[in-house]
């Protein structure tokens, strides 16, 4: 299990974010006005150990005979690999038996995942943790899982507001654990704004030319990161021009191709490359290198997740910045939520977590904390 050393890794400016983060809260209707400390988020009782603020009191061992079913949308996704690995080890640390934790690969196919959920129901698992392939399938998934009397924790891909409302209206044992993607998009844009218009607008035409590489468009993370990264620039009064907007499906290889094409087509005009996640930013960086461009000198590049390789790039200047998508806190909150259902303590229907901006200033600390 990874250490929770978030407090140690945060710069003073980021402590506000941590203090606000990872407690139960209602899903905000709007993007946080202040991304470093969203006003609607309540500080947990123990801000230094956010994931444990909700940890149940039961002694390790009490859950050894409880069966946990976990559905991941796709094992080959880098971020979800970090998430599921940490989820399993944390569940074991809480007293669950490895043999009773089953994690399935949905292979990015809702039909496959639905069959896996049916099998978990037949197997009478005690709790389900689901990262849906399609968030729009949540209603169907919820109905069958609740119908079987099994508590349900959604992770990473947030169902829509009307679906979450049903859980509250019916008082079902269903919750969502995740971060507000608007915050990560805003942070990406702010890291560019912090460089100053004179630095970013290299061709001096008074506006910032950018390309956007999006994740899976069905996903709110992709939608909001795309929208809010650019909004941070326009909110700062900057004029922007989108030269290209392509779907890379969270995938490094795909993003490399897309960015290579964009660089071929638009060349030096591209000043900023926004990628909805780090895997795609790593692909973008390969294309940038091949095109003979240099991040920080003649182009800027930001991602989200804080994958180790991306953090190394931020440290050595080959990525402008990333945003820490805290898989440790989120996986712990998901496991704690599962335990709270098993013990009857129950949960709020939305359990949030804050993102953290990562620049050269704190990238090494973040890397040390996730190692």
Residues that bind ligand GAL (CB under 6 A): 77, 79-80, 156-157, 215, 219, 221, 250, 277, 279, 304-305, 325
| Alpha-carbon torsion (106, 110, 111, 117), positive or negative | positive
Nearest distance in Å: CB 35, ligand GAL? 16
Q: Which is nearer to ligand GAL, 174 or 255 (CB)?
A: 255
Q: How many CB atoms lie within 10 A of CB 150?
A: 21
Of the pair 173, 305, the CB lying nearest ligand GAL is at 305
Q: How many CB atoms sit inside 10 A of residue 244's CB?
A: 18
Close Cβ partners of 279 (under 8 Å, ≥ 6 residues apart)? 77, 78, 79, 250, 251, 252, 255, 303, 305, 307
Q: Output 108 or 140, the one with its CB closest to ligand GAL.
A: 108
Q: Say how far apart CA 302 and CA 321 lie, in whole Å.
A: 5
Report in angstroms how near the CB of residue 266 gets to ligand GAL at its nearest: 25
| 96 versus 250: smaller Cβ distance to ligand GAL | 250
Strands 322-324 and 356-358: antiparallel
* Radius of gyration of the CA atoms of the chain, in A: 20
* Token pair for 350: 């939305």
Nearest CA-CA partner of 71 in 123, 28, 26: 123
Nearer to ligand GAL, 56 or 106 (CB): 106
Closest CA to 234 of 259, 208, 269: 208
Distance of closest approach, residue 80 Cβ to ligand GAL, in angstroms: 5
**CB 349 to ligand GAL: min, Å:** 20
- Closer by beta carbon to ligand GAL, 79 or else 120: 79
Instruction: Give the whole-angstrom CA distance, residue 338 versus residue 101.
Output: 12
Minimal distance in Å, beta carbon 325 to ligand GAL?
5
CB 222 within 8 A of CB 251: no
Cα 60 to Cα 68: distance, rounded to the nearest angstrom: 15
Minimum distance from residue 100 beta carbon to ligand GAL (Å): 26
Residues 124 and 67 sit within 8 Å (Cβ to Cβ) = yes
Residue located via tokens 């560019």 = 192
In the complex, what is the shortest distance from the CB of residue 142 to ligand GAL, in angstroms, rounded to a whole number? 18
Complex with ligand GAL: residue 202 or 306, whichever CB lies closer: 306
Of 38 and 303, nearer to ligand GAL (C-beta) is 303
Closest approach of ligand GAL to the CB of residue 276, in Å: 7
DSSP 24: B
């Amino acid at each position: 299990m990874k250490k929770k050393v978030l407090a140690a890794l945060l710069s003073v400016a980021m402590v506000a974010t941590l203090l606000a983060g990872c407690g139960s809260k209602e899903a905000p209707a709007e993007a946080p006005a202040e991304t470093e400390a969203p006003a609607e988020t309540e500080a947990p009782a123990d801000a230094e150990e956010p994931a444990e603020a909700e940890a149940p009191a039961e002694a390790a061992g009490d859950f050894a005979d409880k069966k946990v079913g976990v559905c991941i949308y796709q094992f080959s996704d880098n971020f979800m690999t970090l998430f599921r690995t940490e989820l399993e080890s944390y569940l074991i640390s809480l007293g669950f038996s490895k043999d009773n934790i089953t994690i399935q690969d949905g292979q990015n196919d809702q039909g496959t995942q639905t069959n896996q959920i049916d099998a978990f129901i037949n197997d009478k698992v005690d709790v389900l943790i689901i990262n849906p392939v399609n968030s729009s399938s949540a209603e169907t998934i919820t109905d069958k899982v609740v119908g079987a009397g099994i508590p349900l924790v959604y992770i990473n891909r947030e169902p829509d507001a009307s679906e979450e409302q049903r859980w509250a209206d019916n008082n079902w044992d269903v919750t969502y654990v995740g971060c507000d993607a608007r915050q990560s998009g805003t942070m990406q844009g702010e890291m560019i704004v912090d460089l100053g218009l004179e630095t970013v607008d290299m061709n001096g035409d008074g506006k910032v030319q950018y390309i956007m590489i999006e994740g899976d468009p069905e996903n709110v993370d992709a939608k909001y990161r795309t929208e809010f990264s650019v909004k941070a620039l326009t909110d700062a009064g900057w004029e922007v021009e989108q030269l290209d907007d392509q779907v890379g499906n969270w995938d490094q290889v795909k993003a490399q191709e897309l960015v290579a094409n964009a660089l071929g087509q638009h060349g030096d005009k591209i000043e900023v490359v926004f990628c909805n996640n780090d895997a795609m930013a790593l692909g973008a960086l390969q294309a940038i290198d091949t095109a003979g461009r240099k991040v920080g000198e003649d182009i800027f590049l930001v991602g989200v997740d804080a994958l180790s390789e991306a953090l190394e790039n931020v440290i050595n200047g080959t990525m402008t910045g990333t945003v820490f998508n805290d898989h440790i806190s989120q996986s712990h909150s998901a496991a704690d939520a599962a335990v709270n259902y098993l013990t009857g303590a129950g949960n709020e229907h939305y359990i949030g977590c804050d993102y953290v901006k990562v620049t050269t200033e704190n990238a090494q600390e973040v890397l040390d904390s996730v190692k």
